[in-house]
Structure 1
């Protein structure tokens, strides 16, 4: 490492269920500038339903362009930080109304993963760059503090080009850092809070303990006594659960869904699905929500989750909504609204889904 309100919501849904159903069946769809969107459409299922906020976050592309909008996080001030691989402004910082507050970053051509960490009362960002073959720690103003190069200590890598990190996660209890090499050799490498190598596990394969695109990683703290790692096995359409020291525990199948990274909010896991297998590749993404029992309870922009004899049936995109092309991440704010950055989606800005 180199230094450098549930009850009121339910009442609302009961009273307005018929109206919402009509809106979902007969949406008005049009194209606005460079993206397709839907007016007054409600997406999702069961208690997790969302209204699309038309035009949220759309900026002057001449001044603040985006390329792939990869990931977004919320800081303690309620600001929304978006990472794009557009080097004219890699990080765009919004308020919740969609107003641009500031921007920074011109040196992340492969800006891909964005993780917010709170350390000693301060907030920091971990940016993974698949072109630079590095993980970069910065402050919220963009000052680079540390760089993690490819993990030579593992003995798995012969050169930096084999390391293409897609995501990081930080254990809030002790500051341990987990780096997922989803586009490289598919190892997850664990460091302590000082950036010192602890261990690695995984690698590319089809067994319980290996991955085919470990794209995202999360420290799941819902069980405070026994936190675990939740890791994407994207090409196998699964999430996998591991102990904090890398021992395999369980697999959560999500048939039809190529999940980018799991995001924890409250008792639920939220995730962007960048494509579905059962349809043509282009523009087949949606969002998925899992409960504390790892059961899919809502699929905004996708088909209703159905379980048969305890097994989730294959899901696909709901073609009545055209706003989702290739969702790459979700950011869930304090009001449980969802912001959706998208990859390979005609350089569009994130979508906002307002919970109803």
Structure 2
């Protein structure tokens, strides 16, 4: 059976309406135009752009669409674990510009960064148990193998990296071993080991993790940058110093959140699922302000605080826009793009920001 959605199925699954009506799940009622689907709350509401980025699956298939970044030319670069084209490059209209990569069966994490006036990528491949630095055309610069220098890893298969972050001040690389031994490993810009911290705990512990799926160097406080790290099974993000000391936690009840993504004063995250009794196709997006308060949950329930505590959230989307969002990219026009995991080999979804 061909699992790739055709255009009609995509339109149905993203909930493009045949007529006008009132959209639920927003903080204020919105009367959309014919054919529009609007999701989100408060200051961050979005219109679903139907059909964006759909390609010929025979020529350019995807499997899991994991993460997306933008280069200096405005190209949107996405990784997928489909080895016919691990890297898929779009323009913002959804047109295919280029593809490359056939040797990344576990392509999962994707980070772009500047170094010496040039841009590079870091690819986390959790099937190869490696982090690979490449240029934007796919040339391999170096590989980070399993971190035997730590003394806590005995074999490569214990290292299953999911995400990286780069400190823009000195080029240090932070690797989140989110599907492996649950450590954050810090390297210098050349890939040389500096330190590690964290580790696994099935019970909630401030300085340990149960799926440290994502990591971000949070530069909003320019004088004092810190790390935001996912603790996905505990429904939270945790803040650490750059040398690995725990600072605080931000609880996101009901939300199995992926990596934190910084855009201006806001942090965005994709929830690949929520805490619903049936978690299949239960994902949504979260938007947090500079105070780390949830202001919008596109595809999810209205964010509600009682006595300063965020109440448990869940999927609330009659149009079923999302299945399992895995990442969020925000462009210069405040539009967002969502690659999805385990979502019937569908291409990314674009949401257009409403004023």
- TM-score, normalised by the number of residues in structure 2: 0.91
Query: How far apart in 2 are the matches of 1:38 and 1:330?
Result: 20
Aligned to 1:217: 215
Aligned to 2:282: 284
Spell out structure 1 runs of 4+ moving beyond 4 A: none
Query: How far apart in 2 are the matches of 1:313 and 1:122?
Result: 44
Query: Which deviations, in whole Å up to 9, do the C-alpha atoms of 1:267-295 show, x marking residues without a partner?
Result: 00000000001241110000000000000
SS state at 1:334 partner: coil
Aligned to 1:37: 14
> How much is the aligned-residue C-alpha RMSD, in angstroms?
1.1
Aligned to 1:27: none
Query: How far apart in 2 are the matches of 1:310 and 1:260?
Result: 23
Query: Which deviations, in whole Å up to 9, do the C-alpha atoms of 1:51-101 show, x marking residues without a partner?
Result: 000000000000000000000001111100010000000000000000000
**Superposed displacement of residue 31, structure 1:** 7.9
Aligned to 1:55: 51
- Give the conservation status (yes or no) of the 8 Å contact 2:327–2:338: yes
- Give the conservation status (yes or no) of the 8 Å contact 2:130–2:160: yes
- Give the conservation status (yes or no) of the 8 Å contact 2:49–2:351: yes
- Give the conservation status (yes or no) of the 8 Å contact 1:31–1:37: no
SS state at 1:198 partner: strand
SS state at 1:38 partner: coil
- Give the conservation status (yes or no) of the 8 Å contact 2:273–2:283: yes
- Give the conservation status (yes or no) of the 8 Å contact 2:200–2:210: yes
Aligned to 2:120: 124
Which of 113, 135, 139 aligns to 1:139? It is 135
Unaligned runs of 5+ in 2: 1-5, 17-35
Matched, 1:183 2:182: no
Unaligned runs of 5+ in 1: 1-29
Give matches, 1:154-303, under 5 Å: 154-205=150-201, 206-303=204-301
Query: How far apart in 2 are the matches of 1:144 and 1:279?
Result: 43
SS state at 1:124 partner: strand
Query: How far apart in 2 are the matches of 1:101 and 1:113?
Result: 21
SS state at 1:314 partner: coil
Aligned to 1:26: none
Aligned to 1:16: none
Matched, 1:85 2:62: no
- Give the conservation status (yes or no) of the 8 Å contact 1:79–1:95: yes
Aligned to 1:101: 97
**Superposed displacement of residue 322, structure 1:** 1.1
Which of 68, 72, 75 aligns to 2:71? It is 75
**Superposed displacement of residue 120, structure 1:** 1.1
- Give the conservation status (yes or no) of the 8 Å contact 2:7–2:51: no
Query: How far apart in 2 are the matches of 1:124 and 1:279?
Result: 41
Distance change >3 Å, CA 31–CA 255, structure 1 → 2: farther
Query: Which deviations, in whole Å up to 9, do the C-alpha atoms of 1:210-233 show, x marking residues without a partner?
Result: 000000000000000010000000
Aligned to 1:9: none
Query: How far apart in 2 are the matches of 1:31 and 1:314?
Result: 35
Query: How far apart in 2 are the matches of 1:259 and 1:321?
Result: 21
Query: How far apart in 1 are the matches of 2:56 and 2:7?
Result: 17
Aligned to 2:30: none
Query: How far apart in 1 are the matches of 2:245 and 2:133?
Result: 27
